[in-house]
Structure 1
C-alpha cells in the first residue's frame, strides 16, 4: 500500500514538473520571439529554451519508464516459455539498473568537472546545475523502474 501511494505521488510530481517546464519553455520562446520581432533580441533565450527542452526530455523519460512506455520487445519475449521469460525479464531489469547507475555515477563526475563553469549568456547560472539533469534523471528512471517492476513482471508472464 505504501509503495502504491508513493508511486502515485511520484507520478503526480513528475507530471507537475514536466507540465511546469512546458509552460516555462513556451513562455521563454514566446518572449524570445516577441523581443526578436521588435528588433531587440534577447541573447539568452535560445540557450535557456534548449536547456528547458533537455530537462523536459529527461524528466519525460523518467515518466515514460514509470508508465512502461519505453521501447521494448514484448512480442519476442512472449515466444519463450515462462521459465525463460522470467530469466530474460530479470536480466533486462538488471541491465537497465546497471546502465542508469553508471550514468548517475558519470553524470555526477561531469558535474564535478564543470564546477566553476557558467552558461555563456547568463554567467550567474552554473553549468553544473544545468548538467545535473543527467544524474538526477538517471536516479528518477531507476525509481520509475522500481515502481513499474511489478506491473512489468505481470505483463511479461501473462500469456
Structure 2
C-alpha cells in the first residue's frame, strides 16, 4: 500500500512470550508509505536495583483492566500526535536479568511526533497501567515501589 492511505494501526498485547524487536517494528511500518519515522523503546530487566542484586523478577497484572488502561494511554497519545501506528507489548510472568519487559513503538510522518508519543506512552504506562513487580534479591522477595521520578516524568505532559 505504498503511498496510499493505510488505516492507523494499534496493537496492544500483554503476554508471557518474548518478542522480536525487528519483526515487530517491521510489521508496524509495513506497506505504509506515509511512515517517515518509527521510534521504539525496549525496557529490560536489570540485574541490580536500588543497590541489590536481582536474580529474577515476576510481573503481575490485572487482566482486562491492564489492557483497557493501555488502550486509554494510546488513545491519549493519538489525540496529541498524528500517528500511523502504535505498538505496545508488555510481558508478564517470571523474567530474568536482560530479558525484555516492554516494547513501545510509534510510527509517524516525522521523528518529532514519534519520539514524543513514544516517551508519553512510556511515561503514562509507568504510572497508570496496573502492573506489579516483585524482585528476587539475596534477602528474599520484595515488591518494587512506585518511583516519584515516574510521577515527575508523567507530570511534564500535563500542560503540553
Bigger-Rg structure (1/2): 1
Structure 1-normalised TM-score? 0.29
Structure (1 or 2) with the greater strand fraction: 2
Structure 2-normalised TM-score? 0.29
Query: RCO greater where, 1 or 2, for CA within 8 Å and sep 6 or more?
Result: 2
Structure (1 or 2) with the greater helix fraction: 1
